[in-house]
Structure formats: structure tokens, C-alpha cells
Amino acid sequence: MTTQEWKFTAKDMAIKPDLFTSGHRACAGCAPAAVLRLVMKATRGPTIVTQATGCMEIVGSIYPYTSWNLPWLHTAFENAAANAAGIDAAIKIMQKKGKMSKEHIDIIALAGDGGTLDIGLQALSGAVERGHDFLFVLYDNEGYMNTGIQRSSSTPLGASTTTSPAGSVIPGKLETKKPITEIMLAHGMEYVATATPYYWKDLLTKVRKGLEVEGPAFLHVFAPCPRGWRSEPSKSMEYSKLAVESCIFPIWEAVNGIRQLSTPSKILQLAPQKKKPVKAYLEGQGRFRHLFLPKNSHVIDQIQSLTDARWAKLLKQCETATN
């Protein structure tokens, strides 16, 4: 992997034509759509994109229209990584046999949290184990939003969804979020990182670094969904910032297993007083509204203590890695 520092400026981004273009049918305030646009801004040359079934697949490919200005393949829900595997195998052998130009082609597989943590986990694990050359980008909106806001294993503790509704007895989802990046790190991947679209330059840099890896790379991108989160469409970027500031979603990268906090999270390590309480992140999101009833205040306390514990663990993991 090259260590070249990427300087994506706002000007560079404006000049580079969109590869995920306007005209798609995403909702107002859809962070996943912004994520896709940003990811495509970071491509470095010939690229093939493959995508799992989901909101972002639907909105960009409504026949006979398309938002994709590069070759794009969708086949099903649980298999974005297997698509990438097939594309990778075909490119490798066809280039070797002279059936295809020898110019390097990057492969990006896109999936939501359902298509990654739940139904897509097997195909992802298999493709990574086999070492296919692709970047897997998870846009995490913490639920099955395309089918109408159901819980996934990425839905956080306490969130109300249509299959984990906040009722008079049960205060939303009782389980915590599956630690997908830890699972991917356990595969011994060369590059694993987390990002949010608020810190767009950081996101672009991580996409580019992932593409530069000769083999599989994994990028977990936090992506608020105003419909699913019952939040203001204008606040998606704000939540993308608050999630980092409250340490709900710290951003970091691990190169060959050596983990380092990215600047916005690093600042919180150096100046812990700047770390915001989870309440600041939770309030305003309709999916957590019930937690602010007096009888459910213990859930907020639980989220705070879990967040603190995870953050402390992450700091240790970064420490161990650098020492």
C-alpha cells in the first residue's frame, strides 16, 4: 500500500465529474446518497461498482434511467462481495489471456448494514478470506430502511424500529450493535476503517487508501437516514458529526491491524472534556424519543456506559498498536 497523502480539496471535488449522478430518487436528507457520491469522487481510474439490493441500489437504477456513470452490477441482496469476487476473477484471467486491456480496474462493492452485517456476512467473509481485490463499502443507516425501517444487527440499543418497536413493556431494541469492524479486522485485512460523511475529506482519503490495497479492504461509513431515524432531513450531517463527538461512532483506520484514531476522534482523546454526552446525539431522533420518558432513563445511562466502555477499549487498542 502506498502511503501517499491525498489532498482532496473542495475545488478538486467540484471539478471531478460525478460518477453517481443527480436525478436519483433518494429522500431529502439521505446521508447514504451523499456517501455514495463522495465515495465515487475518490475513484482513481477504471472502476466497476457492484451493489447489494437496498435503498441505494433502488434509487439509482430505476429502469430505463441510471445514476451510474460507470459499469455497475446488481444481482441480489446477500451477495455484493460474491459479485465482486466474480468480477475480480474474470478481470484477472481475461487480462492474463489478453482478452481485456491490461489497465488496472478497481472494484467497489456497496451494501447497507443488512447486506453486510446480516444476510451478506457470509459472502463478505468468504470473499475476504479468498483475498479478492476489492473495496467493500458499508453504508450503515442502522436498519432495513428500504423495507420500512426494521431492526438489523446494526440497529443500536434502544432504537425503535417497526420490528423492535418501543412499547409499553419493551423500550425499543434490547440488543447492541454487532461489531462488524472487529469481525473484519479478525480476518487479517490490510485495511479497515470507519468514516462519516461530515468529515468528507477523511472519508475520501479512506476510500482511496482502500482502493490502493491489493486485496480486500473494508470501509464502514456511518450514514443517517431521516426517514428511518425519524430525524430532520436537514440534520443528517449534524448527526454524522455528533456521532463522532459523542464517541457513538469513533473514526479510525487500521493498516495491517495497526489502529489509529483519525483526527476528529484523536482530538477527543487529547481533550476528553470535548467529548459530548450521548444525550446530545440521541435527542431529536424520533427513534430514541421514548428513551427520554422517565421510566426509560436507565436505557440512556446504559447507552452512555456502553459507549464509554467501547471508547476506552478503542483507545487501548490504538495505544497497543502504536506502542
Sites of contact with other proteins (CB under 8 A):
46-48, 50, 57-58, 61-64, 66, 68-76, 78-79, 81-87, 89-94, 96-97, 99-101, 105, 122-123, 125-127, 129-130
Distance from C-alpha of 209 to C-alpha of 315, rounded to nearest angstrom? 22
State which residue, 28 or 62, has the beta carbon closest to other proteins: 62
Q: Which is nearer to other proteins, 64 or 294 (CB)?
A: 64
User: How far is residue 240's CA from residue 246's CA, in Å, rounded to a whole number?
Assistant: 10
Nearer Cβ to other proteins, position 106 or 253? 106
What pairs with residue 219 in β-bridges? 137, 193
Smallest separation, CB 100 to other proteins (Å): 7
C-alpha grid cell for residue 148?
A: 420500512
CB atoms inside a 10 Å sphere around CB 60: 24
In the complex with other proteins, the residue whose CB is nearer, 129 or 308, is 129
Q: DSSP string spanning 285-298?
A: -GGGGGGGSGGGHH
Q: How far is the CB of 79 from other proteins (least distance, A)?
A: 4
Of 285, 313, 301, the C-alpha closest to 179 is 313
Query: Minimum distance from CB of 110 to other proteins (Å)?
Result: 13
Nearer to other proteins, 125 or 269 (CB): 125
Q: How far is the CB of 93 from other proteins (least distance, A)?
A: 4
- Least distance between other proteins and beta carbon 149 (Å): 19
Among the listed residues 181, 300, 177, the one whose alpha carbon sits nearest the alpha carbon of residue 251 = 181
To other proteins, the closest distance from the beta carbon of 185 in angstroms equals 19
**Cα–Cα distance between 86 and 108 in angstroms, integer?**
12
Distance CA 32, CA 164 (A): 22
Q: Identify the three-state secondary structure at position 49.
A: strand
Q: Is the Cβ of residue 27 or residue 315 nearer to other proteins in the bound state?
A: 27
Compute the least distance from the CB of residue 81 to other proteins, in Å.
8
Q: In whole angstroms, what is the distance from residue 42 CA to residue 38 CA?
A: 7
Phi, psi of 172 (to 5 degrees): 80, -160
Q: How far is CA 36 from CA 22, 26, 282, 307, in A?
A: 11, 11, 25, 27
Taking the least distance from each CB to other proteins, the nearer of 81 and 157 is 81
C-alpha 141 chain-centroid distance: 8
Residues in contact with 218: Cβ distance below 8 Å, sequence separation at least 6, in sequence order = 128, 135, 136, 138, 181, 184, 189, 191, 192, 193, 210
Shortest separation between residue 188's beta carbon and other proteins, angstroms: 16
Cβ proximity to other proteins: between 17 and 294 the closer is 17
- 311: Cβ contacts below 8 Å, ≥ 6 apart: 247, 250, 275
In the bound state with other proteins, the residue whose beta carbon lies nearer, of 38 and 105, is 105
Give the shortest CB-109-to-other proteins separation in angstroms: 10
- Rounded (5°) CA angle 236-136-81: 125
